[in-house]
Amino acid sequence: MMDEAVNPNNKMSTLTKTVATIGSSLIPVINKLHDILASSGTELSDISVPQVAVVGSQSSGKSSVLEALVGRDFLPRGCDICTRRPLVLMLENRSPNSDDDRIEWGEFRHLPGRRFYDFSQIRREIEAETEREAGCNKGVSENQIRLKISSPNVLNMTLIDLPGITKVPVGDQPSDIEARIRRMIMAHINNENCIILAVSPANSDLATSDALQIAKLADPTGSRTVGVITKLDIMDRGTNACNFLLGKVVPLKLGYVGVVNRCQEDINKNRSIQEALAYEEQFFHDHPVYNSVSNHCGIPQLAKKLNQILEQHIRKDLPHLKAVLNSRMHAAMKELQTYGDVVESKAEQGAALLHILRRYCDDFSAMVDGKSPDMSTKELFGGARIHYLFQSMFVKLLEEVDPCEKLTDEDIVYALRNSSGLRNVLFVPEVPFEVLVRRQIAQLSDPCHQCLWIVYDELIKICLACESTGLKRFPSLRRHINDVVRKFLDAAAKPAETMIRNLIEMEMDYINSSHPSFIGGNKAVELAVQQMRSSKERADAEKVPISDKGQFSQTAAPRSVLNGVSNQGNHPQSNNGRPVLTVAENMMLFLLHLEKKT
């Protein structure tokens, strides 16, 4: 026994010699596929690859089982939660006759090209990477750590060490730590291509095992769950786990394997895994019950069983996986062909760039001029949309502007009085009229600026709609062109705003009172006098008895026209029958009213 303990890797080396061909061709390919899918991010995350996930409660012996399968100490150990991030462990069986003098090494995916020959450094790197992502105070994270171990003493397989199920939060762990860890575990084992390695300690009731309970949720039939019973050597004397190993208590189609791990005292005393494997073999050999079920006991049996199950699962799923990968590859090749030939020389790159820019300009002009071959038949777009904005929306905005908005009689009264200064005036001055009109003309500024930015947005949409083949091929060039066009439109919007402001100021600086439609001067006085007389005649008519109204209406009718200007032909009627007066007429009437009082 001591000879076996002194000779390192004795048992696992013998096992790998006998079953080295199992999975030697398939599992390494799957491991490479794992690396490719992990580096692709979320793009290929929906492709599931066969793997083995290790689940169990905290301190159930998961880490000890994994270290025994590798034959090296490399995982963080302790009384508290140690596995705080999923660890994807890819084991690669490599021939000992390799050119590499050091036959065992590990490599992390986040440190490509750097090999760790000292497995204690692997443990420190796992701890550092865990603390970097999950903090230093017992926090957990869903981000994986990917570790590849190449050794002639392991069998080809991929294992995922998941955080142990805990009940009470400690440190920085949130109050719902148990629910979070369960969701993390379920996210891995719900995959139909995942073999579940449910680890349960023998010194607790297997019927209440957290590992078997959560495995049953993802695998109700037990067709892809392997049970592992640890700590068989510390069961109460007179008891054994033979019925559990034979599946008589909680049956599983893939069966159970019992193992004996190192205890914490063995770890503190630096007892090697090889010595632990020798002790395990001697324990099962000498035990009167476990000796009869030797095919269900020991780490070597577990490694062989997992390798065979994983290989069979890969062979079963390989046709579907191959079909999915071929489909994705054909789609990628088809997309690659749309990008055109490879451009290598500087001259070819320059010519391709000029062609892309010319094509972009042609597409932009075609959309503005309405000559695009891909024009929409469902909605207005491009130049037609801009024309609609000017002819319909902008005109509507102008029509919605009320020229007399916020202009009250008090405004006119105070403007007239303020313009007279210390003296009374006999005629309506022009200064208050221009002041009030300028204020109303300023209302046209907002609709004009609003139209400007609506057109700006439409030009941006046209810019984004120009998707030529060259731009699809070069997304960085596409983003750069979008930035340049946006800056160009931003620069063009500033002089457009200045021009709109100048046009409004021009209209405000010169009030065109010579326009034929403008009511002012003598015409305004005549209309005001006519309105006053009409109002007075209506008031007098209301005072005349009913018998005299017919005669009064005949004599009053000729007076309704003064100097050839018809009252009812020039003024719209309000709801009460009275004519609606313009601002100028109100101003004139108010002035005549003031003169009458003075």
Domain final residue pick, 476, 509, 542? 509
In a domain, 479, yes or no: yes
Boundary-marking domain end, from 471, 492, 509: 509
- Are 217 and 120 in a shared domain? yes
Among the candidates 490, 509, 528, a domain finishes at 509
Q: Tell whether 274 and 390 lie within a shared domain.
A: no
Do 168 and 111 contact (CB within 8 A), yes or no? no
Q: With a cut of 60, say whether residue 593 has pLDDT above it.
A: no
Say if residue 455's pLDDT is above 80: yes
551 or 242, which is more confident?
242
Residue 277 has pLDDT above 80, yes or no: yes
Q: What is the pLDDT of residue 99?
A: 56
Per residue in 58-96, pLDDT (tens digit) is: 878 888 888 888 888 888 876 666 778 899 888 888 777
- Helix, strand, coil in percent for the chain, rounding step 5: 55, 10, 35
Residue 503 lies in a domain: yes
Q: Residues near 530 by Cβ (< 8 Å), separated by ≥ 6?
A: 560, 562, 565, 567
- How many residues are listed for the chain in this entry? 598
- What is the pLDDT of the chain when averaged over all its residues? 77
Averaged pLDDT for residues 471-487: 83
The Cα 4–Cα 277 span in angstroms is: 9
Determine the pLDDT at residue 214. 92
390 falls within a domain:
yes
The whole-number pLDDT of residue 198 equals 92
Residue 1, domain member (yes or no) = no
Q: How far apart are CA 191 and CA 189, in angstroms?
A: 5
pTM above 0.85, yes or no: no
Residue 502 and residue 396 in one domain: yes
104 with 204, same domain: the answer is yes
Residue with more model confidence, 387 or 19: 387
The pLDDT of residue 61? 83
Do 389 and 476 sit in the same domain of this protein? yes
pLDDT in tens, 489-529: 888 888 888 888 888 888 777 777 776 777 766 676 777 78
Residues 401, 310, single domain; the answer is no
Structural domain includes residue 342: no
- The span from the CA of 454 to the CA of 382, in Å, is 12
The answer on 275 and 373 residing in a single domain is no
Q: Which structural domain range is residue 89 located in?
A: 22-39+46-326
pLDDT at residue 591 tops 60: no
What CATH number is given to the structural domain containing 259?
3.40.50.300
Q: Is residue 69 part of a domain?
A: yes
Give the confidence band of 468 by pLDDT, cuts at 50, 70, 90. low
How many domains does the chain contain in total?
2
Q: Give the lowest-confidence range in 196-205, 301-310, 458-467.
A: 458-467
Q: Are residues 237 and 378 in the same domain?
A: no
Least confident of 17-31, 89-103, 465-479, 495-509: 17-31
Per-residue pLDDT tens for 111-150? 888 899 988 899 899 988 888 887 777 778 888 898 988 8
Whether residue 376 sits in one domain with residue 312: no
315, part of any domain: yes
Residues 205 and 69 in one domain: yes
What pLDDT sits at residue 227?
92
Q: What is the pLDDT of residue 196?
A: 92
> And the tokens for 314?
């890969």
Work out the pLDDT band at 25, boundaries 50, 70, 90. low
CATH of the domain at 436: 1.20.120.1240
Task: Clarify whether residues 169 and 52 are in a common domain.
Answer: yes
What mean pLDDT comes out for the span 23-44?
70
What confidence category does residue 261 fall into, taking pLDDT thresholds of 50, 70 and 90? confident
Residue 24 pLDDT grade (very low, low, confident, very high; cuts 50, 70, 90): low
Is the pLDDT confidence value at 234 over 80? yes
The neighbour count for residue 184, using CB atoms within 10 Å, is 16
Q: Would you say residue 572 lies in a domain?
A: no
Q: What is the pLDDT of residue 256?
A: 92
Residues 312, 383 within the same domain? no
Measured CA to CA in angstroms, residue 187 lies from 31, 40, 57, 165 at distances of: 20, 19, 17, 14
Model confidence at 226: pLDDT above 90: yes
